[in-house]
Amino acid sequence: MTILAFVLLLQLQVPDAQQFVGPPKGQPLTGDALFQRTNEVGALLRCPVCQGMSVADSPAEMAVNMKNQVRELLARGYTEEQILEYFEKSYGQFVLLKPKSPVVWLLPVLALVLGLIVVFVKLKKLQQAPDPPTANRQPPTADDPYLARVRDLVSGEKS
Amino acid sequence: MNRTVLLVGVIIAAVLVGVLFMGLGKNPAEIRSPLIGKAAPTFALRQVGTTNTIDISQFRGKPLVVNFWATWCGPCWEEHPVLVANARMLQPNVQFLGVVFQDQEDKILSFLAQRGSGYPTVVDEAGKTAIAYGVGGVPETYFIDADGVIVAKYNGPMNGDIIREHLQKVMRQ
């Protein structure tokens, strides 16, 4: 029975990372280094069945399988770049928690710079604008009939 | 200045509406997999309930429908009779293959015994095949042409029309 299981195991073949990213380019990891790097690389991959959780954080079976795959690839000497590329080739950029496209990082900075330019231009125009016409008005005199009427109304309310 | 602001606002709104319209017009089940147009990842997995190994390359030469599913997945129950009926109707011209992952052998066998089976089903023990195919949830189905190239991917339960529509894409290749 054991021999049969062994023969069957030899016949089984799962898709290998080599089909996607070629042979390993790094050093095989073991022990604590393997544990630590598995968590670090897993934290860069999105769990496809979770809401915004990384493979390192999610307890979902899919994420656990992906984390095991990361561990196995690191143990075989695959680099972080190769592992991320492997998952990206299967799932697309969606699986990467840090997008590769620089546009995603540049857009907020671009929006901020544009906003600052608009504020600067607007402020400069306000400074250059002529003083409002109220500046040319004469201050009201003590015998201004309008002020006298206001004083009457105010004193009337008090009494 | 006010006209400029208005113009810029209208342009931004138009772009946003355009992007939303394009997104809303898409079928969420039609997933644009990066594997489309590429050679299907090769695998040889154990047929459920047996010690036989089924190698995907043995189906080269005719269209292949690879369906990832599991017994705990409700929509897979709904889809199963459709797949079985189409597999029986289209054989021997089209091959169907079921790949079960994150499941238990006895549950798979019981499911197939109760609901019938018209094509081979293999077990993806550690989910590595599902990962290589970019499977997120089940059911997900890949349509592979006679040369072993992935032509389309469908996410969710399929009906007969969806299967025929995707097989036509495969036949056109």
In a domain? residue A25: yes
Nearest CA distance, A1 vs chain B (angstrom):
11
CATH (one of 2.40.50.660, 3.40.30.10, 3.30.1130.10, 3.40.50.1360) for B30-172? 3.40.30.10
Which H, E and C letters describe chain B, residue by residue? CHHHHHHHHHHHHHHHHHHHHHHHCCCCCECCCCCCCCECCCCEEEECCCCCEEEHHHHCCCCEEEEEECCCCHHHHHHHHHHHHHHHHHCCCCEEEEEEECCCHHHHHHHHHHHCCCCCEEEECCCHHHHHCCCCCCCEEEEECCCCEEEEEEECCCCHHHHHHHHHHHHHC
Sequence-distant (6+) residues with CB within 8 A of A153 are none
Which residues of chain B have a CB within 8 Å of the CB of A87?
131
Which pLDDT belongs to residue A150? 87
Any CB–CB contact under 8 A between A20 and chain B? yes
Q: Quick one: what percent of chain B has pLDDT higher than 90?
A: 75
Instruction: Give A89 to chain B, closest Cα distance, Å.
Output: 6
What's the pLDDT at B119? 96
Question: Are A23 and A91 part of one and the same domain?
Answer: yes
Residue A8 lies in a domain: no
- Per-residue model confidence (pLDDT) at position B6: 86
What are B108-150's pLDDT values in tens digits? 999 999 999 999 999 998 899 999 999 988 999 999 999 999 9
Q: Chain B within 8 Å of A11 (Cβ-Cβ)? A: yes
B41 and chain A in contact, CB less than 8 A:
yes
What's the CATH code of the domain at A22?
1.10.8.640
Instruction: Indicate whether A43 and A86 sit together in one domain.
Output: yes
DSSP annotation of A52 reads S
Do B126 and A89 count as a contact with CB atoms less than 8 A apart? no
Q: What are the pLDDT digits (tens) for A95-145?
A: 999 887 778 788 889 999 999 999 999 898 888 877 666 656 666 677 788
Residues A69 and A111 in one domain: no
> Is residue A66 assigned to a domain?
yes
Nearest-by-Cβ selection for B41 from A11, A15, A66: A15
Q: How far is Cα B148 from Cα B139, in angstroms, rounded to an integer? A: 21
Count A/B contacts: CB-CB distance under 8 Å: 75
Is A91 in contact with B34 (Cβ distance < 8 A)? yes
CB contact under 8 A, A12 and B46: yes
Q: Which domain holds residue A120?
A: 100-127
- In one-letter notation, the amino acid at residue A84 is L
A2 touches B at CB < 8 Å: no
Contacts of B129 in chain A (CB under 8 A): 14-15
CA distance readout (Å), A71 to A19, A44, A111, B154: 18, 13, 40, 30
Contacts of A62 (CB under 8 A, 6+ apart): A47, A48, A49, B102, B127, B130, B136
Q: How far is B67 from chain A (nearest CA, A)?
A: 16
Please report whether residue A7 resides in a domain. Answer: no
Whether the CB of A91 is below 8 Å from some CB of chain B: the reply is: yes
For chain B, which residues make up each domain, given as ranges? 30-172
Give the tokens for residue A149: 């009427």
Cβ-Cβ contacts under 8 Å for B30 (sequence gap 6 or more): B153, B154, B155
Indicate if A50 and A81 belong to the same structural domain: yes
Percent of chain B with pLDDT over 70: 95
Determine, for residues A48 and B53 on separate chains, whether the beta-carbon distance falls below 8 Å: no
pLDDT of residue B24: 73
Provide the pairing of β-strand B95-101 with B121-124.
parallel
Q: Cα–Cα distance between B77 and B99 in angstroms, integer? A: 14
Same domain, A19 and A91: yes
DSSP per residue, A86-98: HHHHHH-GGGBSS
**What is the model's pLDDT at position A137?**
64
Which pLDDT score, from 0 to 100, does residue A99 have?
80
Nearest in space to B123 (alpha carbons), one of B61, B64, B70: B70
Residue A151 has a pLDDT of: 85
ipTM of the complex as predicted: 0.82
- Contact between B44 and A11 using a beta-carbon 8 Å cutoff: yes
Per residue in A25-80, pLDDT (tens digit) is 999 999 999 999 999 999 999 999 888 899 999 999 999 999 999 999 999 999 99
Q: Which of A11-15, B18-22, B106-110, B125-129 has the highest mean pLDDT?
A: B106-110
The residues in A 29-58 lying below 8 A from B, measured between CB atoms, are: 48-49
Q: Does residue A153 lie within any of the structural domains?
A: no
* B9 at A interface, C-beta within 8 A: no
Average pLDDT, chain B: 91
Which long-range contacts link B162-165 to residues 24+ away (Cβ below 8 Å)? B163/B65, B163/B82, B163/B83, B163/B86, B164/B86
Point out the residue among B46, B102, B128 whose CB comes nearest to the CB of A15: B128
Q: How far apart are the first and last CA of chain B?
A: 56
Give the closest of A20, A65, A91 to B127, CB-based.
Answer: A65
Tell me the per-residue pLDDT of B44-76, one tens digit each, with 9 for 90 and over.
Answer: 999 999 999 999 999 999 999 999 999 999 999
Q: Say how far apart CA A34 and CA A72 lie, in whole Å.
A: 9
Residue A109 host element (H or E)? helix A102-128
Facing residue for A15 by CB, picked from B32, B53, B129 = B129
* Number of domains observed in the structure of chain A: 2
Could you tell me if A30 and A78 lie in one domain? yes
Q: Are residues A20 and A90 in the same domain?
A: yes
The answer on A110 and A56 residing in a single domain is: no
Question: Can you name the residues that pair with B155 across neighbouring β-strands?
Answer: B140
**Six-digit token pair at A1?**
């029975």
* Domain boundary, last residue among A77, A95, A113: A95
